[in-house]
Structure 1
Amino acid sequence: MTVTTRVAVATSAMGLDRDSDMPALLAALRARGVDAVAAAWDDEDFDWSGCAAVVIRSTWDYPLRRPEFLAWADAVQAVARLDNPAGVVRWNTDKVYLRDLTARGVPVVPTRFIAPGEAVVLPGDGQFVVKPSVSAGAYGTARYTEQQRDLAAGHVASLHGAGATVMVQPYLSRIDEGERALVFLGGAFSHAVRKDPVLTEPGVVDDDRVPHPNLRPHRPSAAELALARAALAAVPERQELLYARVDIAYADDGSPVVMELELVEPNLFMEHGADGPVRLADLVHERAAAAARAGA
């Protein structure tokens, strides 16, 4: 690969300011002779066709403009290699994909999806979570006690008024033990972290909350690794995945369940993985080189 081969790391205004993984990834790519640049996905002046590959990273504002973001992904894939692919982007940016995981026998947090106009049925006992099916960083999300069902119903009505499909899930009693996030690069397990719960106060929608509190390294159990691999096996175009993050918690019976499968813009917590940026850069380098040769 020559220095004229360009790779774009797709981000957003928020990502340019807050993506802690991006500087190390760009530096590792440039060390390999790649003309690596960061560009906001909605930058109308950026020439995506001039890139051999485009790596989606911190496009954290897409939930507010998902149709536009999907159109962008399709357009970029038509002129360059896109990681992860546009089909994966379309599938994974709406959490109704949890239905597909369930259909494939993958244990997930029990989830009821309620589209606008459908009857709203909330749990009669226990704490539960309400959130939109298209969101990132716990945006528009809150947990409620059974005494707060009226407040939760108002939250659902607000989300429906904005055109969102709503997810209702039980609040897992063992979540205080921490959420696990298992990161895979090129289909191989890389590293894992554990973080404290995000929804610390019932009845509060706080879109400015810290999305990953108290991160620390985590050594996943055999059961967690098996669950993560089963979830990835259910992904369309799974052979093409550059990166993936599988978020796992424990059900009340002590079994691990998938909370979310992050394939589009997840924080990969590279500072917790040995040589993470280097290994990711090697994969991007290899794929971009292949794309450049194919287009020559």
Structure 2
Amino acid sequence: MTVRIALATCAAHPDLHEDDFPLVDALRAAGLDPVAEVWTDPSVDWSSYDGVLLRSVWDYHKRYDEFTGWLDLLDKGGVQVFNDTDLIRWNADKRYLLDLRERGVAIVPSQVAAGACLREVVAGLTGQEIVIKPTVSALAHNTIRGVAGSPELDQAIDGLPDAVYLVQPFQPEIVTDGECSLIYLGGTYSHAVVQRPAAGDYRVQFEHGGSVEPVDPPAAVREAAEAALTAAPTRTTPIYARVDGILKAGRFLLMELELIEPYLFLPQHPSATNRLAAVVAERVTAGCRS
């Protein structure tokens, strides 16, 4: 029996991002029939697949209502989705950080503010360098940085759309030491990298000129990352996860827990591609048997 899996992507990358091409080959070698499908394409029959793996769904934050409606559609069709749809919904809104804080996870200090409350929160931080980001966002979209109370930041806030935001103190360790990203496949640690922003910037993403290098994180960092992953409310172990954070005064602080369609830095760790394919194949075929 041929086991078919849809690799959900966005219209900007209808054939997947090029860094995922080796994964397609690895999935075939693992006995699956992988097909790239654009998640917004209404002609796709998702129920014809034995599973859906989210990969390059990099526009979900701009079409959030449509995205959650798509997840509802998959649920109604009884389609296996990886990671599971409840976990995806939870992880799509960065307010999950506050949930994790309540569960004992050390996070970068964060406040939530919406509408007029945003300026009230910022006013309470006058003189501090802060970062403001939408709770539903990706790739640093609509993220701004500045000194609270400064005319420059006030003007930047004026340009933000009406949404719910996270307000966080800027962490200089991002610039000096970089952001550590730990990758887990099937709940097992795989590899890690340090992401660094370009000179004069604070955003670590490739799209903003960031760079990346492999790293072997100390045991304490791995323990903290695994504690954050364990605290996520999930009924099944995530097929993939990326734990992003910084070391501050020797303590790992969580910045993001990426569970939807994280970039996994497979080009920096090619052997992880086959491990991911094996995890996917095992999970999909197990679902077909159940």
The TM-score with structure 2 as length reference comes to 0.91
Q: What residue number does 1:151 align with?
A: 152
Is the Cα contact below 8 Å between 1:7 and 1:34 reproduced in 2?
A: yes
Q: Secondary structure of 2:18's match?
A: coil
Q: 1:200 to 1:145 in 2, by over 3 A?
A: farther
The structure 2 residue matched to 1:125, chosen from 127, 131, 134, is: 127
Q: How far apart, CA to CA, are the structure 2 residues paired with 1:98 and 1:157?
A: 26
1:123-148 deviation line (CA, Å, top 9, x unaligned): 222321111111111111121135x6
Is the Cα contact below 8 Å between 1:59 and 1:265 reproduced in 2?
A: yes
Q: 1:76 to 1:245 in 2, by over 3 A?
A: same
2:222 counterpart letter in structure 1: L
Q: How far apart, CA to CA, are the structure 2 residues paired with 1:183 and 1:25?
A: 16
Q: What residue number does 2:57 align with?
A: 59
Q: How far apart, CA to CA, are the structure 1 residues paired with 2:229 and 2:198?
A: 24
1:105-128 deviation line (CA, Å, top 9, x unaligned): 111110111112425222222321
1:119-178 deviation line (CA, Å, top 9, x unaligned): 5222222321111111111111121135x633323333433xx33111111111222211
1:222 counterpart letter in structure 2: A
Instruction: Show the 5 A alignment for 1:118-197.
Output: 118=117, 120=119, 121-122=121-122, 123-146=125-148, 149-159=150-160, 162-175=161-174, 176-197=176-197
The TM-score with structure 1 as length reference comes to 0.89
Q: 1:255 to 1:180 in 2, by over 3 A?
A: same
Is the Cα contact below 8 Å between 2:244 and 2:257 reproduced in 1?
A: yes
Is the Cα contact below 8 Å between 1:10 and 1:41 reproduced in 2?
A: yes
Structure 2 unaligned residues grouped into runs of 5+: none
Q: 1:130 to 1:28 in 2, by over 3 A?
A: same
The structure 1 residue matched to 2:212, chosen from 215, 218, 239, is: 215
% identical equivalent positions: 39
Deviating runs (4+, > 4 A) in structure 1? none
The question of 1:245 aligning with 2:246 is answered no
Segment of structure 1 superposing worse, 150-159 or 81-90: 150-159
Task: Output the aligned Cα RMSD.
Answer: 2.2
Structure 1 unaligned residues grouped into runs of 5+: none
Q: How many residues align?
A: 284
Instruction: Show the 5 A alignment for 1:68-83.
Output: 68-78=66-76, 79-83=78-82
Higher strand share: 2
